[in-house]
Every structure is written in C-alpha cells, then in structure tokens.
Amino acid sequence: MQRIELNSIDPDYVFTVDIDSKVYRIRLQWCDRTASWYGHIADDGDEPIVSGCRLSVNYPLFWRSRDTRMPKGIFLVISIIPGGSITRDNLGTEVNILYLTQAEYYSIIDDARISSTPTITATLRQ
C-alpha cells in the first residue's frame, strides 16, 4: 500500500509518483462550481492517460480506464474520519489517496467481509 502525498494548499497542482517502477504525473484540480476535486493522470512523457475524474471518498479513482499504461492496482480515495467527505481544504489531511496493488485491494475486501475492522482507515491512523 502506498500513500500518495497530497496538499490542498494549491487548487491546481501537478506532482510525480513512482508506482510499480514507473513514473506517473498526477494533476489535481479544485473546481469551485462543483465544489469537487478532479484528477488527471499522465505517463512520464506527460501524455494523458485519464482526465477529469472526480474524487469521491471510498471510491476508486481512475477506475474506468482500460488504458494499458495505467498501473495494475487501484487508486482509492479514503477519509480517516468515518463518514467524512472531501472538501477544498482537507485533501492530504483528512482525505488521502492510496495506491493498492490488486492483491492488497482484494485482501482488504476479504478482511472487511470477515471483520468489521476498517483496515484502510486503521492503517492511515498509524
């Protein structure tokens, strides 16, 4: 599990992240009109892979992409506060993006079925 380092100081920023030995560029933009963050991901050559995905808590980001350049795992938007929502100011503090390999994701899903322990939230609080 890899926590993606974020900040909500700037309403539009780009950063690079190394995932599965590949470099990706992620752009996050705040939209006042919809009061939402939107994510875009590009390869290391800055060629767009997926654009305009709205960040929603407890929901995978970029999940609709079938582009073979995407990492094989899952970007998951999560709040450390149960029932929390994403705002302009809490991205990177209360709300985070995790990258999970497929094996990690399915392991967490299986654990959640067996136990009521919120595995991801517990990991973030550590």
* pTM of the predicted model over 0.75: yes
| CA 52 – CA 112 distance, rounded (Å) | 30
Could you read off the pLDDT tens digit of each residue along the chain, which spans 126 residues?
Answer: 899 988 778 999 999 999 989 999 999 999 999 999 999 999 999 999 999 999 999 888 988 888 999 999 999 999 998 888 999 999 999 999 999 998 888 887 776 665 554 555 555 444
